[in-house]
Amino acid sequence: MSKPGKFSFGVFVFVTLFLHIPLAILVISSFNSSKSMRWEGFSLKWYHELFYNSGPLWHSFWNSIIVAISSSVVATVIGTLGAIGLCWYSFRMKKAIQTLTFFPVILPEIIIGVSILIFFNKIGLSLSLFTIFLAHVTFNIPFVLMTVMARLEEFDFSIVEAAYDLGATEIDMLLRVILPISMPGIIAGLLLAITLSLEDFVITFFVAGPGSSTLPLHIFSMIRFGVSPTINALSVVIIVGTALLALSSKNLYSSLLKR
């Protein structure tokens, strides 16, 4: 029994190092005074460059934040209501609708991006930050739907019957029973949607218009001329922000489970 345990531990250590060594190198490089990978001394000049001389970079960053939060909130509302409808009600074509809803998850992003671009062209909608928002809502809905449905599949629907026996209406059931129980799944779906929106490049590349560049698009345009240490500094800021968000969401999730 000890040999499999040692092997599993060795695999765990290898995978952990494989995932985190690149991040460690990135953090160290952000404090390097040189633009090259060769260490030439500790310096904070790239952070100074980031916060004081990187206007276009921050503009694309805030574009990404605005799109990610707004599209994720809308996708979470639609995905949550869709998951509740699919789990709570029985109707014709239910399985067909579930299958169609999951298509964006399994289709290649390039196909989704091209199809959304063609649709926008057909309806005469000019490419802008708004089209990026619509595209992100579209591909985020299935992920929220699956996350909330996974939570609802563990739900004991005898509680619903008991609430009906006590005189609850469907609105009361939705607001006081279903949504509170689904809240961990809803929060998980929201955070997943925000993450997918922030890092998306392929679909955003097709539906972005002039002046509506997001952070992945801006970084892509920068690295074609070489990796700037300013990007390393921004990456460290994002890593720290993500870690704080993950810790806070974990505490929130734990508090919700205790209710």
Q: Per residue in 28-84, pLDDT tens?
A: 888 887 777 777 788 888 888 888 877 788 888 899 999 999 999 999 999 998 888
What pLDDT band is residue 250 in, cutting at 50, 70 and 90? low
Q: What are the backbone angles phi and psi of residue 42, rounded to the nearest 5°?
A: -75, 135
Cα–chain center distance at 93: 30
Distances (CA, A) of 22 to 19, 26, 30, 228: 7, 6, 12, 16
Which strand (E) or helix (H) includes residue 14?
helix 2-30
| For residues 23-28, average pLDDT | 85
Q: Which residue has the higher pLDDT, 15 or 41?
A: 15
CA atoms lying within 13 Å on the CB side of residue 157: 6
Q: Residue 210 has what pLDDT?
A: 82
**pLDDT of 91-122, one tens digit each?**
777 778 777 887 788 888 899 999 999 999 99
pLDDT > 90? residue 182: no
Question: Residue 150, SS3?
Answer: helix
Residue 254: is its pLDDT beyond 80? no
155 contacts 120 by C-beta, under 8 angstroms: no
Domains and CATH numbers, the chain: 56-258 (1.10.3720.10)
